[in-house]
Amino acid sequence: MTDPAPPVVVLRSAAVVRGGRTIWENGQLEIPRGSLVVVIGPNGSGKTTLLQVVLGLLPLARGTVEVLGAPPRRGDARIGYVPQNYTATIGDAVRARDLVALGLAGRRWGLGRLRAEERELIEATLDSVGAAEFADRRMSSLSGGQQQRVAIAQALVSRPELLLLDEPLANLDVRNQQEVVDLLARVHETLDTTVLLVAHDLNPLLSVLTGAVYLLDGHPHYAAIGDVVDEGLLTHLYGTRIRVVRTPQGDMFTRSG
């Protein structure tokens, strides 16, 4: 019998303090390898903070954290990251293809300095996220959904084991939200990549999620998605009544009120 794969993220009695204020504490969880997990909680509960801890950008005040079997460290090539509103900070002249190349080459800017196998990997990654047809356009000319595809391609081009995304569906219309969700599901299934993302709205993601980290009463918890989509838990989490609706076709969604 094969031993189960070790978890990608482990918190033990973990706490984060900023400016003298405890953001969350008593973090005791394991995120399974190969999962597609959402981080949820009310505003200010520390969702982005959790990603920063995993990235090695923010130390714990107490407790321990392991990421991919080791203490987290900045610039870990095994982790891809798409920050919130990332594309808003990119210059007007940057092409989509060049942005993805930067994810592979670091400071070696420009495709001309890349090896042939690196250029092939860039093209394959652009194609895998459906961005090949606009790869030579400037980022500033792309729609929000197209920009998000390129940002995800940049995070994926180094073939990470863990992909982190901070609000990847924010400011996208319903069609583009669904396209990004479908893309993340394919990444999870075909690249054997664990996906951890922060989201405000569960509904677009419910069909693809395997689990959730929820920040309840100042403590991070992990559970399978079926245990988290619960009216009592979600109502407590957000401080307002949340209903879980199941359609005759078996689909599920949440709504307030």
Q: What percent of the chain has pLDDT over 70?
A: 94
Asked whether residue 60 falls in the same domain as residue 91, the answer is no
Asked whether residue 110 falls in the same domain as residue 143, the answer is yes
Asked whether residue 167 falls in the same domain as residue 241, the answer is yes
Q: How many Å apart are CA 54 and CA 189, to the nearest integer?
A: 22
Indicate the residue among 129, 159, 189 that finishes a domain: 159
Whether the per-residue pLDDT at 155 is higher than 80: the answer is yes
The pLDDT mean for the chain works out to: 91
Provide the pLDDT for residue 251: 79
Provide the pLDDT for residue 229: 95
Provide the pLDDT for residue 107: 47
Lowest mean pLDDT of 68-82, 97-111, 137-151, 228-242, name the range: 97-111
Provide the pLDDT for residue 32: 97
Once rounded to an integer, what is the mean pLDDT over residues 105-111? 52
Question: What CATH number is associated with residue 256?
Answer: 3.40.50.300
Report long-range pairs for 233-241 (Cβ below 8 Å, ≥24 apart).
237/40, 237/41, 237/42, 238/42, 239/42
Provide the pLDDT for residue 191: 87
Q: Which helix (H) or strand (E) is 21 found in, with range?
A: strand 21-31
Tell me how many domains the chain contains. Answer: 2
Asked whether residue 130 falls in the same domain as residue 179, the answer is no
Indicate the residue among 134, 159, 184 that finishes a domain: 159
Asked whether residue 73 falls in the same domain as residue 106, the answer is no
CA-wise closest residue to 183 among 169, 199, 173 = 169
Lowest mean pLDDT of 100-114, 137-151, 170-184, 213-227, name the range: 100-114
Asked whether residue 72 falls in the same domain as residue 112, the answer is no
Asked whether residue 112 falls in the same domain as residue 237, the answer is no
Whether the per-residue pLDDT at 41 is higher than 70: the answer is yes
Lowest mean pLDDT of 26-35, 66-75, 107-116, 189-198, name the range: 107-116
Provide the pLDDT for residue 167: 95
Whether the per-residue pLDDT at 175 is higher than 90: the answer is yes
SS3 at position 2: coil
Once rounded to an integer, what is the mean pLDDT over residues 238-249? 89
Asked whether residue 166 falls in the same domain as residue 237, the answer is yes
Asked whether residue 48 falls in the same domain as residue 170, the answer is yes
Indicate the residue among 135, 159, 183 that finishes a domain: 159
Provide the pLDDT for residue 250: 73
Residue 107 belongs to domain spanning: 85-159
Once rounded to an integer, what is the mean pLDDT over residues 236-240? 95
Asked whether residue 182 falls in the same domain as residue 70, the answer is yes
- The model carries a pTM of 0.92
Question: What does the pLDDT look like over 180-215, one tens digit per residue?
Answer: 999 999 999 988 899 999 999 999 999 999 999 999
Once rounded to an integer, what is the mean pLDDT over residues 139-155? 93
Provide the pLDDT for residue 4: 72
